[in-house]
Structure 1
Amino acid sequence: MTPTIDEFVDGARRFLGTVADGRNGSAGAGPVKSRYALFSGSTDEELSAAVEYQRAAFDAGFGWITGAADRGGAGLPAAYERAFSAAEREFPIPSKGPLSVSLGMVAPTLAQFGSPEAERKWLTGLRRADVIGCQLFSEPAAGSDLAAVRTKAVPHAAGGEWTLNGQKVWTSGAHYSDIGIALTRTSDGPRHKNLTAFVVDMRAPGVEVRPLRQITGAADFNEVFLTDVTLPDWCRLGEIGEGWSVAIAMLMHERNAIGGSSSGGSGLFRMDDLAAWIADLGRHENPAVIEAFAKVYSGVTSAKAMRRRADANLKANGVPGPEMSLGKLALTANLQALGELVTVVLGPRLVADTGAPRTYAWSEFVLSVPGMRIGGGTDEIHRNTVAERVLRLPKDTPVRH
């Protein structure tokens, strides 16, 4: 018997109360962190905490709420998943950041395009965090122009297998991932019709992961080298030559996940917590602070409205649409507004470490905000997507010299 939403949320809150991370403080107070950053890397402890939480959620029936019951899912409508996400924000649970690509991008793409063998081998494991996935898309010469990837996949003459050779870069979490979804070139045919996607075993011979050290000292991104990596044909996602469709779908799933962060899915946008923090610092009556807070509040509220509309479209069509680009743009704008609020609230304490909690800890966040204009697709690419695919404006006319 399907529970009502209220019954479901009551059960979710009981579960969340048993797994909330007491080290992060009470649910109402919000976490007191030693640093706030968008690209800080995931420590082994953070990864372990995320995996442990996801497994507990899965085993309790909350790890794959819309998934089929025969695969370990709860078989409930998407409204229940949204209700659980809202309940999660009431509790100081471990960050699921280390699993964001795996759960938000790799799992839904595999479910949409994977062969029966690939689904059986990896899909349930991805949802339970027994398997972790990454995205093998960007290359040194193919960033925003993803269709220009040079990594090649060549079929064996006898059939049934492929050999991959190439290099990927800026791969988040590759150093702790078990599988990756790779976009490859499989022919010299027309652009967008010459690509095929595969699931790559990241432990297979010929796969080498090299961390990219960031200015923060962390290494969240990686280079991945594929040298004579052999894959069975059942690792292929979709049809040969239709990898661009897989890539677009995966990017839409990415923007779907990012859109949730713009509307409060990230703990950074807990408005009650921000208001309490500002009051604790005695800055709540400052006019500049009030104006900056209002900008963040209105941005997050608007993003929630856009998110509801995007979720309605997702429910109707089954896959995320181009309006998800609005979520990415909203996230960039809301993060920038939050950075401006933090700067106004803290003043010199943002750059001078006095030892006071939640002051200098924000410095890395403010410095990392501009990077989100690139992450998940550049803002310029997303504006083009909105203009052409949402507003139906004509495409730019190429300039000929």
Structure 2
Amino acid sequence: SEPSAGSDLASLTTRAVRDGDEWVLNGQKVWTSGARFAEWGLAITRHDFDVPKHKGMTAFMVPFNAPGVEVRAIKQMSGGANFNEVFLTDVRIPDSLRLGPVGDGWKVALTCLGFERDHSSGSTSSHTGGTYKQVIAAAEWAGVSKDPIIRQSLADLYIQHKVAQLTNRRAAAGLRAGQTPGPEGSLGKLMWTANMTRISNVISQILGTRLVADNGEWGTYAWNEHILGAPGYRIAGGSDEVQRNIVGERVLGLPPEPRVDKDVAFSEAQRLARK
């Protein structure tokens, strides 16, 4: 994303200007995961400001060691720094690093976001945050696994976990059949972030004040990373609000939200927005 775009990715303003067999990129990206350690990044840029915002974008692979690329870490309240700002100043990229045709940047972005939102692999090795099994282990360790209120919360967590698992299996079947991730990726992403919040709530019930300070007890203070990190994933890969719009429009067939800038040149839309 970009500071001026937020969840409206199509409002990005990072500029790409063609210069012979090269492109010159200028702009700023934000919330770029792992940029400090990555060798390559994917940049969606705007090459044409005089067409509607979804049509003037082009995608590039950007080597992070290219002159003009600067990465700055963003410190999170969990203590980590998974996200970064990336500044592009007169970065020259050969046309061979362009992804897709000129003007197809939005299609590239949607394809990448579809895979990012997809959680159909079912792999626990790539799981972010705490798992259901770890919550059960914490309840047993704390001696509250037989408490009726805790058991009710654990049962609800298990039900929601299984529903998400079955939904993801359906998405996985589509991938195996060669399909591109569709709106089911948005549904899976919503379930994933909702379950992360549920885990935070249940583990808070289980551990209580043990979450406040690191006293060396097993499996207590370490949950802070999950509880403090979980809210941020509601905006990862597109905010939950955007995902609900996608499900409403593409799955439920609800009328789309009014978009006054849909058929307006991006430069004109920007000018009107500044009024």
TM-score by length of 1: 0.61
Contact 1:263 1:304 in 2 (8 A): no
2:70 is the counterpart of 1:234? no
Partner of 1:274: 135
User: Offset at 1:356?
Assistant: 0.8
Deviation readout 1:347-379 (Å, 9 max, x if unpaired): 221224332111122123222222221122111
Q: Distance in 2 between matches of 1:143 and 1:267?
A: 23
Partner of 1:245: 107
2:162 is the counterpart of 1:308? no
Q: Distance in 2 between matches of 1:308 and 1:291?
A: 26
Partner of 1:122: none
Percent identical residues: 49
Matches within 5 A, 1:149-160: 149-156=12-19, 159-160=20-21
Deviation readout 1:300-326 (Å, 9 max, x if unpaired): 100111011111222334311111001
2:188 is the counterpart of 1:327? yes
Q: Distance in 1 between matches of 2:259 and 2:104?
A: 26
Equivalent position to 2:9, from 118, 121, 146: 146
Partner of 2:263: none
Structure number with higher strand proportion: 2
Unaligned segments of structure 2, at least 5 residues: 261-275
Q: Distance in 2 between matches of 1:335 and 1:305?
A: 17
Q: Distance in 2 between matches of 1:244 and 1:267?
A: 27
Contact 2:22 2:95 in 1 (8 A): yes
Partner of 2:29: 168
User: Offset at 1:273?
Assistant: 4.3
Q: Distance in 1 between matches of 2:13 and 2:122?
A: 32
Equivalent AA in structure 1 for residue 68 of structure 2:
G
- Cα distance change of structure 1 residues 319 and 380 upon mapping to structure 2, 3 Å threshold: same
Deviation readout 1:24-55 (Å, 9 max, x if unpaired): xxxxxxxxxxxxxxxxxxxxxxxxxxxxxxxx
TM-score by length of 2: 0.87
Number of equivalenced pairs:
259
Contact 2:77 2:228 in 1 (8 A): no
Deviation readout 1:128-151 (Å, 9 max, x if unpaired): xxxxxxxxxx11101211111111
Partner of 1:16: none
Equivalent AA in structure 1 for residue 239 of structure 2:
T
Contact 2:122 2:168 in 1 (8 A): no
Contact 2:78 2:228 in 1 (8 A): no
Q: Distance in 1 between matches of 2:239 and 2:147?
A: 35
Q: Distance in 1 between matches of 2:142 and 2:67?
A: 55
Equivalent AA in structure 1 for residue 10 of structure 2:
A
Contact 2:120 2:171 in 1 (8 A): no
CA RMSD of aligned residues (A): 2.1
Equivalent AA in structure 2 for residue 205 of structure 1:
P
Partner of 1:348: 209
User: Offset at 1:244?
Assistant: 0.4
User: Offset at 1:397?
Assistant: 3.6
Bigger drift between 350-359 and 319-328 goes to: 350-359
Per the alignment, in what secondary structure is the counterpart of residue 222 of structure 2? helix
Equivalent AA in structure 2 for residue 282 of structure 1:
G
User: Offset at 1:262?
Assistant: 9.7
Q: Distance in 2 between matches of 1:327 and 1:234?
A: 34
